């Protein structure tokens, strides 16, 4: 017998499960289909376990610098297996928590792989065999993405890794090449370097973290190199060759920089060259859903060309962020509920990508929102730029974190906050202040008249705003 629902969500990642919960809150009968793990990539193989790893590397870094705080520690050792096990345990605990949330919100969880038979019906299979069919008034496709594979440079799971192997390594490699310097690449480079691995970053673009403000990217590079990370930019990876010497296997990367060939050999290689949307084998060809540039096309309310099918998260394109997917999930569910007469259509809001903050949890942390200085000027904006360094903040100095910068960009004419770009300790927490400011459309006057607590590192946000208008106090 075919099960029937108001909404069926395909994929239980941070977009899918949030969409399911919100729909249930609004009174819809909801099912969620997941082929692998509740919580998706972010919870099981991305955002969460990597933060657990980075915390361990942060502790290791601190232990090697405790003398700066008046302590002495001898014979510092680590158990790499336990570090990996802790990371996996964190993911497992949270995955179980998602199962509890589904039960609490009366969302029916169906394990299996979903495929559209038509716009109103899906087939669910497990181990290649159909287990049931589901009909729904509406669907949300939240199937996420996977690591991008380059032909001729395919990971082998042993010496050439994707993010999965990088976070479940059996032992700490002595040397590592990280190909790609987006958030994933930089976080793994930071983790392994702070654990003692010799790390080289290979980036095709002119700067590492190429989506970030150029000034911030250059500061990140300077910090990474200070930590002993070798950084190669404008570098094209041509080949990866395995070498065997006795029982040991290494990998040699052939790289071209400014027309000159260079070879680097390391124990392991991490391929962090982007992600690809999971759109295959979903039966989308049996619907009106349109695929463009290998991702599902949607409007600002996450609607596809098929009226009853929505899509959210990584499967609809950049920015590939868990919090963006979650927010899209809420928008989609509220839009669907409004179509079913269970939510006020006037309350449904469109996604504003310019208000989505991005975070990189390396050492130092990087966070940003809105336009970069370069992009703002390219758009013809007359801007006012404000900056404030960590070395002028009392709390940062007291914490031993005097390396960093807060940078803000305002529209000279209107006072609109166009962008904010931060590098340094805890900026991934501070960025939310600027996110609220952008969402609330606060001006420079509003921010200048806001009272920030002392002593905090958040005071630097205030000082950066003051600096943009020639009113900075402490620098």
Q: Name the residues annotated as catalytic.
A: 454
Residue 130, strand partner residues: 125
**Planar angle of CA 314, 316, 319, nearest 5 degrees:** 55
Quickly list H helices, 117-231: 163-166, 183-194, 214-226
CA 280 to chain CA mean position, Å: 23
> Encoding tokens for residue 124?
């669910």
Task: Kindly state the tokens that stand for 321.
Answer: 């962020």
Dihedral angle sign, alpha carbons of residues 329, 331, 333, 335: negative
Structure tokens at 475: 């620098």
CB 406 within 8 A of CB 463: yes
Q: Which residues pair with 231 in a beta bridge?
A: 201
Cα 10 to the center of its chain, rounded Å: 21
C-alpha 412/C-alpha 426 separation (Å) is: 29
113 neighbors 125 (Cβ within 8 angstroms):
yes
In which element (H, E) is residue 22 found? helix 16-25
CA distance 186 to 176: 12
Lookup: tokens for 121: 């019906």
Give the integer Cα–Cα distance in Å for 284 and 280: 8
CB 155 within 8 A of CB 271: yes
CB crowding 351-360: b at 16 or more within 10 Å, else e:
beeebbbbbb
Neighbouring CB atoms inside 10 A of 303's CB total 19
Query: First vs last Cα of the chain: how many Å apart?
Result: 71
Single out the residue of 78, 46, 138 nearest to residue 359, CA to CA.
46
> What's the rounded Cα separation, in Å, for the pair 270 and 396?
33
């Amino acid at each position: 017998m075919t099960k029937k629902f108001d909404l069926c969500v395909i994929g239980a990642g941070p977009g899918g499960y949030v969409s399911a919960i919100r729909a249930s809150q609004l009174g819809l009968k909801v099912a969620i289909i997941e082929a692998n793990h509740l919580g998706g990539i972010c919870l099981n193989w991305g955002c969460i376990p990597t933060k657990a790893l980075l915390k361990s590397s942060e502790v290791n870094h601190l232990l090697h610098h405790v003398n700066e705080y008046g302590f002495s520690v001898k014979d510092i050792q680590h158990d790499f297996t336990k570090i990996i096990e802790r990371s996996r345990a964190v993911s497992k605990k949270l995955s179980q928590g998602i199962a509890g949330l589904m039960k609490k919100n009366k969302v029916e969880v169906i394990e299996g792989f979903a495929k559209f038979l038509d716009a109103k019906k899906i087939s669910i299979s497990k181990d290649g065999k159909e287990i049931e069919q589901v009909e729904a008034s509406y669907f949300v496709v939240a199937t996420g993405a996977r690591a991008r594979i380059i032909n001729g440079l395919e990971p082998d799971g042993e010496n050439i890794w994707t993010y999965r192997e990088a976070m479940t390594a059996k032992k700490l490699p002595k040397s590592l090449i990280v190909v790609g310097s987006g958030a994933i690449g930089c976080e793994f480079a930071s983790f392994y370097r702070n654990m003692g691995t010799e790390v080289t970053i290979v980036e095709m673009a002119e700067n590492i973290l190429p989506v970030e403000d150029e000034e911030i990217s250059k500061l990140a590079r300077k910090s990474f190199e200070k930590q002993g990370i070798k950084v190669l930019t404008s570098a094209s990876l041509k080949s990866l060759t395995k070498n065997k010497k006795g029982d040991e296997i290494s990998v040699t990367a052939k790289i071209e920089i400014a027309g000159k060939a260079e070879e680097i050999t390391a124990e392991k290689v991490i391929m962090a060259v982007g992600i690809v949307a999971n759109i295959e084998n979903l039966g989308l060809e049996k619907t009106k859903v349109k695929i463009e540039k290998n991702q599902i096309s949607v409007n600002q309310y996450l609607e596809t060309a098929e009226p009853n099918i929505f899509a959210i998260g990584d499967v609809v394109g950049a920015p590939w962020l868990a919090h963006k997917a979650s927010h899209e999930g809420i928008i989609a569910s509220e839009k669907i509920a409004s179509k079913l007469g269970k939510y006020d259509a006037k309350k449904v809001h469109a996604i504003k990508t310019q208000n989505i903050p991005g975070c990189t949890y390396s050492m130092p942390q990087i966070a940003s929102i809105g336009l970069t200085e370069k992009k703002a000027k390219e758009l013809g904006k007359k801007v006012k730029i404000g900056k404030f360094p960590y070395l002028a903040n009392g709390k940062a100095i007291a914490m031993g974190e005097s390396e960093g910068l807060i940078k803000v960009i305002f529209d000279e004419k209107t006072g609109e906050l166009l962008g904010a770009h931060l590098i340094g300790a805890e900026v991934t927490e501070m960025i939310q202040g600027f996110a609220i400011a952008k969402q609330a459309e606060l001006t420079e006057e509003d921010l200048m008249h806001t009272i920030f607590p002392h002593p905090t590192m958040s005071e630097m946000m205030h000082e950066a705003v003051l600096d943009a208008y020639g009113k900075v106090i402490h620098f």
